[in-house]
Amino acid sequence: MGHPLRAIFEPGFFTSAPVHVALLAGGVVALVSGIVGTFTVMRGQSYAGHALGDISATGGSASFLIGISPLWGFAGTSVVAAGIMDMIGVRRPRGRDLATGIVRGAGLGLAALFLYWDTTRTSTTGAPVTILFGSIFTIGSSMIPVIAVFSLVAVGIVAVLYRPLLLSSVSTDLAVVRGVPVRIAGALCLAAIALAVSLSAITIGAILSTALLVGPAATALRLTSRPGLMLTWSAVIGVAATWLGVLLAYDSYYWPPTGRGWPVSFFVVVLILIFYLLAQFAGKNARESRNEEPACSQAS
């Protein structure tokens, strides 16, 4: 490796096993979040996705107490919570927000208790940071198959339901008239969102998983009006933010004051924000140069 690249890739980046796992797992997770996130944003379920991320912390923090991988805990609670949220009042937007808020509050309360036990009863003093803010460099390579299966299920759901979900996001009535079972489709979509946030909980943490779910999709929304392209952009942006975040976190071990690397989650979230702002700016310029009028003539 030549000198110029040294400045970007600090020594050992390409040979470190944890970095390999982080790039692979982080890349796959970002891909899933980007794709599922597109439907989350389209269906106006960002708050539900955010709440499911928070709730996954409950299972994640409990996993240390019973000695299983946090991923099982994350996925277990968020999928169950998705089921509960689907059962209680999802029809009306306000009822949906209330149900979501209540389930989310209870979940975070339990997480507080479990994290307290994690730090006092067991010796995992790093549990709160690992659960809430992620720990991409400590993902064991044994978890890769589980990550792969969860990813396939989440992406599989939205791929199969692509058109029905698209149509029911436009109008439930239009979808019902065309024979779409909107209730089942909605429940499955929520399950896919739950899986996606649990996956990003292991890379950037339960609290921040919503950033990877909503951020790339929101950015993609500024770049295109085509649903297929939005999926692609969203996935690309998520993966780029994760890989760059891993690189910067690795490099940060060599930054002053030396010896302490910065968290990957920080870089990923900041990069997503930068991408979003750039897209917002680019989108605005493009609109102005096309002289596009905003929505009009909707009187009364």
Which residues contact other proteins by CB under 8 A?
38, 41-42, 44, 159-164, 166-167, 169-171, 173-180, 220-221, 224-228, 230, 292-300
Neighbours of 18 (CB within 10 A): 15
Judged by CB, which is closer to other proteins: 92, or 178? 178
Contact 81, 106 (CB under 8 A): no
- Any idea what the Cα angle at residue 291 is, between residues 290 and 293, rounded to 5°? 120
- What does the alpha-carbon distance between residue 284 and residue 2 come to, in Å, rounded to a whole number? 40
Judged by CB, which is closer to other proteins: 11, or 44? 44
Shortest distance in whole angstroms from residue 150 CB to other proteins = 20
Shortest distance in whole angstroms from residue 276 CB to other proteins = 14
Query: Using CB atoms within 10 A of its CB, is residue 183 exposed (0-12), middle (13-18) or buried (19+)?
Result: middle
Q: Residues 56, 57, 63, 65: is their CA dihedral positive or negative?
A: negative
Shortest distance in whole angstroms from residue 288 CB to other proteins = 14
Q: How far is CA 263 from CA 70, 136, 250, in A?
A: 18, 9, 9
Shortest distance in whole angstroms from residue 176 CB to other proteins = 6
Residue 94, both tokens: 């306000």
Residue 42, both tokens: 């389209």
Judged by CB, which is closer to other proteins: 257, or 294? 294
Shortest distance in whole angstroms from residue 112 CB to other proteins = 34
Shortest distance in whole angstroms from residue 87 CB to other proteins = 22
Judged by CB, which is closer to other proteins: 31, or 75? 31
Contact 248, 45 (CB under 8 A): no
Q: Residues 135, 146, 216, 128: is their CA dihedral positive or negative?
A: negative
Shortest distance in whole angstroms from residue 154 CB to other proteins = 15
Judged by CB, which is closer to other proteins: 1, or 295? 295
Judged by CB, which is closer to other proteins: 115, or 230? 230
Q: What are phi and psi of 273, to 5 degrees?
A: -60, -45
Shortest distance in whole angstroms from residue 177 CB to other proteins = 5
Neighbours of 117 (CB within 10 A): 14
Judged by CB, which is closer to other proteins: 43, or 104? 43
Q: b or e along 76-109 (b: 16 or more beta carbons within 10 Å of the residue's beta carbon)?
A: bbbbbbbeebbeeebeeeeebeebbeebbeebbe
Judged by CB, which is closer to other proteins: 112, or 184? 184
